[in-house]
Amino acid sequence: MEAYSSVAFTMQNMQSQLSNPDSEFYFAMLDNVIVGYMKLNFNDAQTEYKDKNALEVERIYVSGEYHGKQIGKQLLDFALNTARSKQFAYVWLGVWEHNEKALGFYKHQGFELCGSHDFMLGDDKQTDLLMKKEL
């Protein structure tokens, strides 16, 4: 994870992501504390499909001590409502194949498997399962 973080979250990389007009970041706050965040991608900022009729949820993270408090669901609901307001056809995302909790959560929210892609985490080849929800 350190190898991934040292590349994915460099100052230069984050500045590039934050300045991309086709990406949006949102923060979940509780008692003036950031407890989670989400990154949405549109158009060419999408990492896989780059479909003009789709929204990608690239990241939803909730701090561990706030799991089980519906924060992830609220972030996902916000993403779905954003997609609907922009009249997109579907929302898609990637989930690590061994993250059973997240896979179950997204399936419960109406997402279905639609593909996969590999990525490197340091020297370890990992697989993300791609999921989408039609709107």
**C-alpha dist (Å) from residue 15 to 5, 91, 99, 135:** 15, 25, 28, 31
- Partners of 80 in beta bridges: none
Active-site position among 4, 49, 61, 106: 106
Residue in 84, 82, 128 with CA at minimum distance from that of residue 106: 128
**Is 106 one of the annotated active-site residues of the chain?**
yes
Question: How many other C-beta atoms are found inside a 10 Å radius of the C-beta of residue 128?
Answer: 18
Tell me the catalytic residues: 106
